[in-house]
Chains A and B, each alone.
Chain A
């Protein structure tokens, strides 16, 4: 069946360090992937996306890597800041209108 899962439910990092959040997906038909950030009391917010014809995409302090061979996504956050503390979701889009979300990873940034 279709599923998107995260390897680590909670990640604790020191402020200033880099963070890596991982995600596995199962649907080979998915050709578009998005990372969302959800802060407490708020809805998910778009961070960065990547299409299946790419293996890397960079934003401001964030990089998404896509490995289609092993169906794996990762989100790298450089120089993690306290404001990065949130739950991060990956989502895959196997067909129109359908986003399948992973279970989420909580990122805790230690001062």
Chain B
């Protein structure tokens, strides 16, 4: 148990569906992240939220839409995805201190997404 919970663990969707991935952290951290993990590729940073404001958007297509309603919750809304978007989507949180780089990231177990 890492303190970061992701749901659902597995999701299969068609290209015209709309679905959402949910992440909740119980660690009191002030930053949350979405990463994409594809086979044989490095972990790719998608979005970062710090104190509920988006501070990083790594050229992610608009069919992925993040939402951070509070410091404990992070969503990734999915719409008209492509088969190549099939991957493991990992949420993470960390405590970022002023004038310091982010510390250790705590990851959830991931949501395995399959786009048909």
Instruction: Give chain B residues whose Cβ lies under 8 Å from the Cβ of A89.
Output: 42-43
The interface on chain A, measured as residues whose beta carbon lies within 8 A of the other chain's beta carbons, has a size of 25
Contact of B101 among A41, A42, A95, A104 (CB under 8 A): A95
> Which B-chain residue is minimally distant from A30 (CB atoms)?
B101
> Which B-chain residue is minimally distant from A5 (CB atoms)?
B42
Contact yes or no, A102 B106, CB < 8 A: no
Contact yes or no, B96 A97, CB < 8 A: yes
> Which B-chain residue is minimally distant from A34 (CB atoms)?
B104
* Chain A nearest CB, measured from B47 CB (Å): 10
Contact yes or no, A96 B96, CB < 8 A: yes
Contact yes or no, A43 B2, CB < 8 A: yes
Instruction: Give chain A residues whose Cβ lies under 8 Å from the Cβ of B41.
Output: 103
> Which A-chain residue is minimally distant from B102 (CB atoms)?
A97
For residue B66, CB closer than 8 A to chain A, the reply is no
Instruction: Report B25-63 residues with CB < 8 Å from chain A CB.
Output: 31, 33, 40-43, 45, 48, 50, 55-56
Contact yes or no, B42 A43, CB < 8 A: no
Contact yes or no, B42 A101, CB < 8 A: yes
With A95-B101, A96-B100, A97-B55 in contact, do A103 and B40 touch (Cβ < 8 Å)?
Answer: yes
* Chain B nearest CB, measured from A53 CB (Å): 13
Alpha-carbon distance A107/B55, docked complex (angstroms): 34
